[in-house]
């Protein structure tokens, strides 16, 4: 293929890719208010579809199998709301009540250690004064953050009511709706559309199942670790560690910061507990990278760290916390779409 043909292929690909991205972002924006239950429902679809197919192959009627899965989802939802959320609310309240003491203990910790470092170096350090000032201003922000978390959990609880119903209709009608939408493709794009669809869905389903297992394993490992070292609210910290692990690079740092803050707030103040809290997060990351990722996420998306970080920042600004979680699967899907569009454009250029 000549240079002119290659340039023309790239131009055609970028043009079509731009319109697909614009349509996708516009759809996300219009559905932003209900995006969370939709995402959870499609995640459950990816997890439950193999179970549904197994039940159908065993001779169970498809509608009956879907109804059975719906009953199981409703049961799990009721158990989660009835038994899991109250302790989480209680632990959030404990952390909120400890915030003033937390910043006071942390102030003392910083003052002692900066004085020691300054004495060893023979210079006067003003780092503690700066950080103490910042921490004093952060007390109100921390309370506001925890209040936001509490209200968000309440909103998530209400959204969970929609999830089983949405999941039921997705399990029942998704394939027929997909076939209708794919039927709108022009004839010269029909085969390419199905090829891209199958490649994207296969990778996203594998990624979704992998990260859900990864998050659950991380939550269990971190919760046990925090409990063993004697940290307060180990269940909440472990759950947040597993959830934040969905955010590459940034998530583990956030979970480590939360663990350090809780350790600093405990009375009596024990500096060693801060090191233990950091150690738990580090050990959980070691287990994640050496065991979980190779074994559970064998089909993880192959993306360079730079576009991942840039994508997280862009999606986070556009769609908030949900955008941060969606960044990696969206980038993976965009990569597959662009590569296949360019491949077809290149083939067309050669024929021309």
pLDDT of the residue at 318? 75
Q: What spatial distance separates the first Cα and last Cα of the chain, rounded to whole Å?
A: 10
pLDDT by residue, tens only, the chain of 352 residues: 555 555 677 777 788 888 888 887 787 777 776 777 888 888 888 878 888 888 989 888 888 888 888 888 778 767 766 766 676 666 666 666 766 666 666 666 666 666 676 666 666 655 555 555 555 544 454 455 455 555 555 555 656 677 778 888 888 888 888 888 888 888 877 888 888 888 888 877 777 777 888 888 888 999 999 999 888 778 888 888 888 887 766 778 888 888 887 777 676 767 788 888 889 988 988 888 777 766 665 555 667 667 777 777 787 777 776 777 777 788 888 888 888 888 777 776 666 5
The whole-number pLDDT of residue 321 equals 67
Closest CA to 258 of 225, 283, 233: 233
CA distances from 253 to 214, 257, 308 (A): 17, 6, 16
DSSP string, 157-187: HHHHTHHHHHHHHHHHHHHHHHHHHHTTS-H
CA-to-CA distance for 1 and 5, rounded, in angstroms?
6
Tokens of 106: 């942390």
Residue tagged 């900066």 (tokens): 114
DSSP 8-state class, residue 304: -
Residue 280 tokens, joined: 């738990």
Which residues are CB-contacts of 206 (< 8 A; sequence separation ≥ 6)?
299
d(CA 27, CA 221): 37
Q: What are phi and psi of 183, to 5 degrees?
A: -70, -15
The model's pTM: 0.62
User: Cα–Cα distance between 242 and 218 in angstroms, integer?
Assistant: 5
Q: What share of the chain is helix, strand, coil (3-state, %, to 5)?
A: 90, 0, 10
pLDDT score of 141: 46
Helix/strand/coil for 64: helix
Extents of the domains making up the chain? 37-174
Contact 237, 266 (CB under 8 A): no
Instruction: Report the Cα 272 to chain-centroid distance in Å.
Output: 31
The count of C-alpha atoms lying within 13 angstroms of the C-alpha of 10, restricted to the half-sphere facing its C-beta, is: 7
Specify the pLDDT at position 138. Answer: 47
Query: On the CB side of 269, how many CA atoms lie within 13 Å of its CA?
Result: 17
């Amino acid at each position: 293929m000549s240079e002119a043909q290659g340039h023309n292929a790239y131009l055609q690909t970028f043009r079509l890719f731009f319109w697909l991205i614009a349509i996708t972002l516009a759809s996300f924006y219009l559905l932003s208010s209900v995006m969370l239950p939709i995402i959870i429902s499609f995640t459950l679809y990816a997890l439950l579809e193999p179970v549904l197919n197994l039940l159908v192959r065993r001779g169970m009627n498809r509608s009956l199998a879907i109804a059975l899965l719906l009953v199981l989802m409703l049961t799990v939802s009721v158990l989660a709301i009835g038994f899991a959320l109250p302790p989480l609310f209680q632990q959030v309240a404990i952390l909120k009540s400890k915030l003033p003491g937390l910043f006071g203990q942390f102030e003392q910790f910083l003052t002692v250690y900066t004085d020691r470092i300054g004495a060893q170096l023979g210079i006067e350090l003003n780092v503690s004064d700066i950080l103490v000032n910042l921490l004093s201003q952060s007390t109100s922000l921390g309370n506001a953050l925890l209040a936001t978390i509490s209200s968000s959990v309440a909103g998530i609880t209400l959204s969970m009511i929609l999830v089983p119903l949405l999941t039921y209709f997705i399990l029942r009608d998704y394939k027929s709706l997909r076939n209708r939408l794919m039927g709108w493709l022009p004839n010269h794009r029909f085969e390419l559309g199905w090829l891209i669809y199958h490649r994207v869905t296969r990778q996203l389903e594998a990624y979704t199942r992998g990260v859900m297992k990864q998050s659950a394993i991380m939550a269990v490992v971190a919760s046990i670790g925090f409990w063993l070292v004697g940290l307060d609210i180990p269940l909440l910290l472990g759950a947040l560690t597993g959830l934040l692990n969905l955010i590459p690079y940034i998530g583990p740092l956030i979970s480590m910061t939360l663990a350090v803050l809780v350790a600093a707030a405990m009375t009596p103040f024990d500096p060693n507990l801060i090191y233990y809290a950091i150690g738990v997060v580090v050990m959980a990351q070691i287990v994640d990278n050496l065991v979980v990722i190779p074994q559970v996420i064998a089909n993880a998306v192959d993306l360079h760290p730079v576009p991942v970080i840039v994508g997280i920042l862009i999606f986070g600004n556009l769609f908030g916390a949900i955008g941060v979680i969606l960044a990696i699967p969206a980038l993976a899907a965009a990569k597959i779409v662009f590569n296949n569009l360019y491949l077809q454009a290149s083939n067309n250029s050669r024929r021309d």
